Amino acid sequence: MSEQIATNEQEYAIEVKDVTMVFNMASAKLNSLKEYFIALARRELFFKEFKALKNVSFNVPKGSVVGLVGTNGSGKSTMLKIIAGVLEPTEGECVVRGNIAPLIELGAGFDIELTARENIYLNGALLGYTKTFIDEHIDDIIDFAELHDFMDMPLKNYSSGMVARIAFAIATVTEPDILIVDETLSVGDVFFQEKCMNRIRSFIDTGKVTVLFVSHDINQVENLCQTAVWIEKGVKRMEGPVAEVCEAYRNQ
Ligand SMILES: Nc1ncnc2c1ncn2[C@@H]1O[C@H](COP(=O)(O)OP(=O)(O)OP(=O)(O)O)[C@@H](O)[C@H]1O
């Protein structure tokens, strides 16, 4: 019996187990670090607890494509960051099996003083690629980003869309086990978005890559995903076949 459970668990790429995330928010508006320390010293600083996620649980089977839907501020990005290991949940745990390409906050690990080429090596190292691997793939990355003439320009002169192009190209140069896609692609132009979606679809077509997809474009979620999880005000409201969840979400 226990052996069967273990086998089933291995079939999940992601297990979100009873996750609660509490943020401490300062109750007063402070404009500087100086004001912060003065308020702290005077014991005038109070924090309010805010639960961004409340006992959320769901499983993502390996090779499945799952959409995460919910209105603004419902906790989707927080959930993705916990899964990607960027945030530690206050309670509960998240088990992830496989390597993740997190397409959230694209370019967050970049150094804007360095050139795009230098950032490819830096970000590649953060993603666990060796220098030899990047040497072999840098042309593919530059080709995909279509920024050949800008490779030796410091990133501070890049537009947000150009940064997103480089970041997406690096993160998806190899096939990940798990791909996490947030709204970030929306900063790219429509042609680049289409190119990114094609690459995401090609990963999905292999049947091996697990995809967790967040978008406010409900039609896109319906087109791409098989199942969906609806989170509202930090609580899981519904989980199931994508058409049913999206229908309920539209009619809320
Ligand atoms: N670092 C933080 N500190 C305090 N509160 C935070 C922090 N990050 C997120 N929150 C709060 O947690 C709640 C959920 O935010 P989150 O970004 O996860 O929502 P979301 O569903 O992704 O929203 P959107 O659709 O607008 O992107 C919000 O009320 C937000 O203000």
- Is the shortest distance between the CB of 184 and ligand 1 below 6 Å? no
pLDDT tens-digit profile, the chain (252 residues)? 444 444 566 799 999 999 999 998 776 677 788 888 887 788 777 778 899 999 999 999 999 999 999 999 999 999 999 998 889 999 999 999 998 887 877 767 789 999 999 999 988 888 888 999 999 999 999 999 999 899 999 999 998 888 889 988 998 988 889 999 887 677 778 888 889 889 999 999 999 999 999 988 899 899 999 999 999 999 999 999 999 999 999 998
What angle do helix axes 116-126 and 160-171 make, rounded to 10 degrees? 40
Q: Which residues contact 42 (CB under 8 A, 6 or more apart)?
A: none
Q: At what angle do helices 160-171 and 131-145 cross, to 10 degrees?
A: 130
38 Cβ below 6 A of ligand 1: no
Domain containing 177 — which CATH number? 3.40.50.300
ipTM: 0.95
The overall longest dimension of the chain from CA atoms, in Å, is 60
Q: What is the pLDDT of residue 4?
A: 45
Alpha helices by DSSP H, 42-159: 76-84, 116-126, 131-145
pTM as predicted: 0.85
Residues 6+ apart with CB under 8 A from 57: 16, 17, 18, 19, 92, 236
180 CA to centre of own chain: 5
Q: Which atom of ligand 1 is nearest to the CA of 87?
A: 1
Strand 91-96, strand 12-26: pairing = antiparallel
Of 210, 179, 183, which is closest to residue 59 (Cα–Cα)?
A: 210
Which strand ranges, in their side-by-side order, compose the sheet holding 12-26?
A: 47-61, 12-26, 91-96
Domain span holding position 132? 2-250
* Atom number, ligand 1, closest to the C-alpha of residue 25: 4
Q: Is 236 in the pocket of ligand 1 (CB under 6 A)?
A: no
* Dihedral sign from CA coordinates of 123, 186, 159, 142: positive
Q: Which amino acid is at 99?
A: N
Cα of 78 vs centre of ligand 1, distance in Å, is 6
**Pick from 76, 85, 55: which is nearest to 178 by CA?**
85
For residue 207, count other CB atoms closer than 10 A to its CB.
9
CA 48 – ligand 1 centroid, Å: 15
How many domains does the structure of the chain reveal?
1
How high is the pLDDT of residue 211? 94
Please answer whether residues 56 and 16 qualify as being in contact, where contact means their C-beta atoms are separated by less than 8 angstroms: yes
